[in-house]
Chain A
Amino acid sequence: MSTQPPDASAPAIRCRGLHKRFGETVAVKSLDLEVRRGECFGLLGPNGAGKTTTIEILEGLTPRDGGEVEVLGMRWEADGPRIRAHLGVQLQESEFSDRSTAEEVIRLFRSFYPRGWSVDELIGFVQLDEKRGTQVRNLSGGQRQRLSVACALAGAPDILFLDEPTTGLDPQSRRQLWDVCERFRERGGTILLTTHFMDEAQALCDRLAILDHGEIIAQGTPGELIRGLGGAYVIGFTASVPVSEAALRAIPGASRVAARDGETLLTVDELAHALPALLQAVGAAGGELTALSTHQATLEDVFLALTGRELRDE
């Protein structure tokens, strides 16, 4: 339904050496990124990592201080209006006219695009059929967010930009929004999204870049990033006596030892071999376990391993 821009072989987004500062603060530091056609790419990082600045530069809304940006093989400086017609943008915390109905808002946004889906198709796509006549001020957070995505989809875009799309939503609303994203992907769409939820990144993204202090500190598929930890499981425990790091490293399959909030975190290959060995090591040190938990390694663990901090600064 959307016409391809001239250079269909160009990646959806490519940027090199992207740089942005606000006064003294460097928001984005020589950032390189390539988003392929048809993939869902995530920028994952804590609040203040530079995700929004990066995505808004790529959307052509924030001027950059340095570096190069190409969207669908075109440059903002030369082809701004042409690029716009192929993008769908959802901004963090942007609102719609309170007194317009969902349908009226969608019709407004649809009118800006020379081609795209019909208003009815858009309403159906984001499952707002029952709320089409409801004024924006009476919509729930999840419904507003789906409305926002419907507006971003109005021009049948090649690339959909989503900035923290599920922040503040309840689990069911998040799920519904993820469904919308997946259905957009099934139609061949490309998504670039920012999030500070590792489960969201894991569920939606083909590839990710982890951002911290304006820099990409790791990049790859969720699987690659987790495998990069060196283990598939994380054991968290506290013991009545200190256990030496050397003893922990001697546990079969153990690849990483870290401490957090008085708890020791041990990354291992397989729980079946590691757990008995851990009990033994604690026993050998003359103490016993006072708490024990295990989970499959996640992107949260990747971030913790890379920065020593937690992703969600709550």
Chain B
Amino acid sequence: MSEHSPLRELVLTRIRSFVREPEALFWTFVFPILMAVGLGVAFREKPADRAAVGVQRGTAAERYLPALRASRDLKVTVLGDSAAERALRKGDVAVLLAGRDTLVYRYDPARDESRAARLLADAAVQRGAGAARPVATADDRERVPGGRYIDWVIPGLIGLNLLSTGMWGIGFGLVQMRNKKQLKRLVSTPMRKRDFLLAQLLARLAFLVLEVPPIVLFARLAFGVRIQGSWLAFSALVIVGAMTFAGLGLLCASRARTIEGISGILNVVMLPMFVLSGVFFSASRYPAAVQPLIRAIPLTALNDAFRAVYNDGLPLAATWPQLLVLLAWMAISFFAALKLFRWQ
């Protein structure tokens, strides 16, 4: 009997080569946290911005200045003719109030901000003139948990991180081993090839324990971002996502001989996902025609599933379309990688 299991030794070798590389550790664990800090600061909770409203000097609008200034929702600036034009064009004011006799709202209807400012300004003007409110209403301004931008972006960041560590970790590592003839040396022994490939995947699973909890914990402590759904469902998604990207990394690395070669391939594969997969802004902003395509990208599927569990508190079963997409990618890339893989 052999005293050591080859699978265990291969996994340990992989883990050691990573945890003994301080730079790799830094980029894997600190980078996503830095990113979360940056985004958290940029989109921190603050009192809703008052709408910037411009009033053009010497126009009908001046009459309504007291009413406008009485509104807590508006920031009013009185501007001369040329200054008013410039402020409107640059977006310093969202709406400009002018008009010779009748009050005229000048704004760009394509901008949400401008449409909102117009409504707020109009409400102030009408209220000031004593307009009756035909329907009585009240405001409830309490925010729904999981509804902030930071709540939304954290699952995306976790998905992005799984993509980059999986693809770079597996892809880079294997090509380096091929380049240094370590793979060739290994296949000159009776080592079973499937043990080797399996070890790469198991090592990835071990890294997840070090990789994901710090972001989750940081988001919870610094921004109060909570997992609304179950921990188990979230963990299952992390594992499925990590294995999918490991498979893709394996496929990308199955032929490349040089670090330059694999870097190029990984960039080509990953860049579209950064842009299209709804990490920083929702993928639904892309035209409806390309939506089916975008939903079929593995990172989109993972981010959508993450958000369903993380933000919406849905059960794992509710993410079956995304799971299907991920499992398909996983199966196809593993199969293709095993067919194509070159040991020397």
Residues of B within 8 A of A (CB): 2-6, 8-10, 12-13, 16-17, 20-21, 180-182, 184-191, 344
Contact = CB atoms under 8 A, between A and B. Distances in A.
A61 B256 CA distance: 19
Contacts of B182: 94-97
B184 A94 contact: yes
A61 B189 contact: no
A97 B17 contact: yes
State the majority secondary structure of interface residues on A: loop
Contacts of A269: none
Contacts, number: 79
A247 B120 CA distance: 118
A100 B188 contact: no
Contacts of B2: 111, 113-115
Contacts of B4: 107, 110-111
Interface stretch (A8-16, A85-93, A187-195, A217-225): A85-93
A109 B189 contact: yes
Contact of B16 (A93, A99, A155): A99
B16 A112 contact: no
A169 B344 CA distance: 25
Interface of A: 59-61, 81, 84-85, 87, 89, 91, 93-100, 104, 107-115, 118, 135, 151, 154-155
Contacts of A109: 189
28 contacts: A59-B188, A60-B188, A61-B184, A61-B187, A61-B344, A81-B190, A84-B189, A89-B188, A91-B181, A91-B188, A94-B180, A94-B182, A95-B181, A96-B185, A97-B16, A97-B182, A99-B16, A99-B21, A100-B17, A108-B12, A110-B3, A111-B4, A111-B6, A112-B189, A112-B190, A113-B190, A115-B2, A151-B185
A97 B13 contact: yes
A185 B50 CA distance: 88
A100 B21 CA distance: 11
B190 A111 contact: no
Contacts of A61: 184, 187-188, 344
Contacts of B12: 104, 108
A192 B111 CA distance: 78
Nearest to A154: B189
Given A61-B188, A91-B181, A108-B12, 5 more contacts: A91-B188, A95-B181, A97-B16, A110-B4, A115-B2
A94 B189 contact: no
Given A94-B180, A95-B181, A155 B13 contact: no
A56 B255 CA distance: 21
Contacts of B189: 84, 89, 109, 112-113, 154-155
A115 B190 CA distance: 11
Given A111-B2, A112-B190, A112-B191, A91 B9 contact: no
- Of B185, B188, B190, B191, chain A has the most CB atoms within 10 Å of the CB of B188
A180 B211 CA distance: 44
A256 to B, nearest CB: 42
B161 to A, nearest CB: 23
B17 A99 contact: yes
A38 B10 CA distance: 33
B13 A84 contact: no
Nearest to A97: B17
A54 B69 CA distance: 91
Contacts of A151: 185
A59 B184 CA distance: 11
Contacts of B9: 107-108, 111
Given A97-B13, A99-B16, A100-B16, A111 B5 contact: yes
A270 B162 CA distance: 77
Contacts of A111: 2-6, 8-9
